[in-house]
Amino acid sequence: GQEYTVRGILMDKETGEPLLVGGETVTAEVTFRAPAETGSVPMAFTFDSSAMKGKAVVVFETLYLEEKEIAIHADIEDEGQTVTFLDPKIGTSAAGPDGEKVLGLCSEVTLVDTVSYENLIPGASYTLKGVLMDKGTGMPLLVDGKQEVAETTFTPDAASGTVEVVFTFPSAGLKGKTVVVFETLVAGDVEIATHADIEDEGQTVT
């Protein structure tokens, strides 16, 4: 029957200091009336996690009675208080439909970029956005004055796997040109991983 308040703050496990998101600490507070001597009460922290890749966060809690601190749980090493944010990674391998790294000159050519991914959430929706880059200039490839882009939206069944992004474009004007595929993985409207190495042979076709 007594009223209590529990206040929590998120801590950065690596530094041992309060976690800062947008320059502010992340806190939550719940006031409740205890129905019995023993029980539990949920506390929700809501914040932007888009910059939290791979970070471990520990929750510290303090219990108050009439604004007097009567109990605390603040152990930076406690696994029960700890959550870790995913660190998504992608890698790509670009080739023609039959695995060829040298493509012909024709009115329409197909380039298949096989993207491997790690540390995704099974059942969640993701989008891969690809763009072809001109290795000679380091700038986006222009075909008839337009960038060549493609995207694929997918829902992984497992945390790791592969998905294809297919580019179809005219190659008649690309004689001798070397092309590199850059890929960006997006969740919602947040960019969570990129693979953009102009020197990566796996991403390259000629």
Q: Over the stretch 69-126, which tens digit does the pLDDT of each residue have? A: 999 999 999 999 999 998 999 999 999 999 999 999 988 999 999 999 999 999 999 9
Q: Please check whether residue 174 is in contact with residue 148, taking contact to mean a CB–CB distance below 8 angstroms.
A: no
Res 9 pLDDT > 90: yes
Query: What is the mean predicted confidence (pLDDT) over 23-37?
Result: 96
b/e map 41-80, b = 16+ CB within 10 Å = eeeeeebeeeebeebebbbbbbebeeeeeeeeeeebeeee
Count, residues in the chain: 206
Q: Residue 20 above 90 pLDDT?
A: yes
To the nearest whole number, what is the mean pLDDT of the chain? 94
Alpha-carbon torsion (194, 198, 201, 204), positive or negative: positive
Q: How many CB atoms lie within 10 A of CB 82?
A: 15
CB 119 within 8 A of CB 87: yes
Using CA atoms, how far apart are residues 112 and 4, in angstroms rounded to an integer? 60
The amino acid that residue 127 corresponds to is T
- Distance, CA of 18 to CA of 26 (rounded, Å): 8
- Full-model pTM: 0.78
Residues of the chain above pLDDT 90, percent:
91
Examine the pLDDT at 51 and tell me if it is beyond 90: no
The whole-number average pLDDT for the span 173-189 is: 93
| Residue 144 banded pLDDT, cuts 50, 70, 90 | confident
Residue 198 pLDDT exceeds 90: yes
Above 90 in pLDDT, residue 189?
no
